[in-house]
Structure 1
Amino acid sequence: MKNLKMAFLGLALSSSMSMADDCTAPAMPAISEGEESTMEQMLETQQAVKAFQAANLEYMSCLEPQLAAAEAAAKEGTEGAAEQYMKLQETYNAAVSREEEVAGKFNNEIRDYKAANPS
């Protein structure tokens, strides 16, 4: 029974590795310079940021089952599973960091826009 379980986890891990290739990280959007942009340009940037956030959420959702399978395989001691789990975890964390970076840049440019264009 344990051999069957290990075989299943190995299959799940190899499947998740091929599925990882199907998960594609979205490109980061260009962020308009707030001081030099028009309201229309800032609104276009806002839409691009929202689209990026939605695509990034889909990307992270694609990675989540792979993370779970790799974690389970690592706990079972499947060969190479711990390394795969760490790699997937780094990939997921990088996606979170990219989203935070985009949001931070956009918020800074909004502040710059408001400073350059007081009401």
Structure 2
Amino acid sequence: MKTLKYAALALALGSGYGMADECTAPASPTLPDGSASTMEQMLEGQQMVKTFQAANAEYMKCLETGIESAKVAAQKAIEKGDGVDEAKAAYEAAQNTYNAAVTAEEELAGQFNAEVREYKAANP
């Protein structure tokens, strides 16, 4: 169910420049189909979303360290006038990885909310 979109996001999240070894993106859960799920399945889905959000918060905290390191490296490169393009690219890649993590969480929450609406429509 709707896993292809999240698999692509997970790939994007895991491809951070120089940080992939240090920070591991959480796997996005497979959400229940709201139009065909029981209340128990929807509650399990809600718990999976909460677990993902907590893991993603830890992941983003880890990424923040990498962003700060890349920022310092970029500033030093600018001061030295050497390796500026590479340092800027590393900093931008770190920011993009972080932004992808935020997007993944927002997309998952939005998708779960859509499934809740489908559940409510199917179970008035």
Kindly tell me the number of residue pairs found equivalent between the two proteins.
Answer: 102
Larger radius of gyration between Structure 1 and Structure 2 = 1
Match of 2:4 in 1: none
Identical residues among aligned pairs (%): 59
- Determine which of 110, 115, 119 is the counterpart of 2:121: 115
In the alignment, structure 2 segments of 5+ residues that lack a partner are: 1-16
In 2, the alpha carbon distance for the partners of 1:46 and 1:97 equals: 18
TM-score (structure 1 length as normaliser): 0.80
- Determine which of 76, 85, 90 is the counterpart of 1:84: 90
Indicate if the aligned counterparts of 1:20 and 1:66 stay in contact, CA closer than 8 A: no
TM-score (structure 2 length as normaliser): 0.77
RMSD: 1.5
Runs of 4+ in 1 over 6 A off after TM superposition: none
Name the structure with the higher helix share. Answer: 1
Match of 1:72 in 2: 72
In 1, the alpha carbon distance for the partners of 2:63 and 2:30 equals: 25
Deviation of 1:73 after TM superposition, in Å, equals 1.6
Deviation of 1:20 after TM superposition, in Å, equals 4.3
Deviation of 1:66 after TM superposition, in Å, equals 1.1
Match of 1:13 in 2: none
